[in-house]
Homo-oligomer: A and B are copies of this chain.
Amino acid sequence: MDAIEILQNHQVKKTSPRLSIIQALQTSQNPLSEGEVKEKMGGLYDRITFYRSVQTLEEAGIIHRIVADNTVVKYALNHCEKGHQHSPDHVHFYCTQCNSLVCLNAVKTQAYELPEGFTSNQCDVVIKGMCNKCNL
């Protein structure tokens, strides 16, 4: 789907930084870090704008943010085109060898029974190890 269309569908203003970020993510199979998005965006990149943009895009349900580790944050487009803000339903795999992060869209997060009084709205699962390429 076209980046402009995505923003329209989610009622978010069409601005060039937002379009650039979405397009950068669309060119990649895997989630991208800020640095990786920056590279793809070239000159027209501002750190502050980036942070505010990804926050907007996440709140709009267009992308999701994955914290692989405290120093490794990546972003990925949501697959569900229509879906509004809901946390990802799949687990993520982080390869500690090549530092790539993979959305395992086919592997759904399982339900966990919480103790009395606890309520949840999000469940983040990050599995760490070696990816298929590094295991060759």
Question: Do B129 and A119 have beta carbons less than 8 Å apart?
Answer: yes
Q: How large is the interface on A (under 10, 10 to 19, 20 to 34, 35 or more residues)?
A: 35 or more
Selected from B69, B71, B124, the residue in CB contact (under 8 A) with A128 is B124
| Assembly stoichiometry (copies) | 2
Q: Whole-angstrom distance between the alpha carbons of A114 and B106 in the complex?
A: 9
Selected from B107, B110, B127, the residue in CB contact (under 8 A) with A122 is B127
Q: Is A43 an interface residue (CB 8 A)?
A: no
Interface residues of A in 104-123 (CB under 8 A from B): 104, 106-107, 110, 112-123
- With contact pairs A70-B73, A126-B124 given, residues A93 and B114 touching in the complex (Cβ less than 8 Å): yes
Question: Do A128 and B120 have beta carbons less than 8 Å apart?
Answer: yes
Question: Do B112 and A131 have beta carbons less than 8 Å apart?
Answer: no
Residues of B within 8 A of A115 (CB): 104, 106-107, 132
Q: Is A91 an interface residue (CB 8 A)?
A: yes
> Which residues of A are interface residues toward B (Cβ below 8 A)?
67, 69-71, 73, 91, 93, 104, 106-107, 110, 112-133, 135-136
- In addition to A93-B118, A106-B115, A117-B131, 13 A-B residue pairs with Cβ atoms within 8 Å of each other are A91-B112, A93-B120, A107-B113, A107-B115, A115-B132, A117-B135, A118-B129, A118-B131, A119-B130, A120-B127, A122-B127, A123-B126, A124-B126
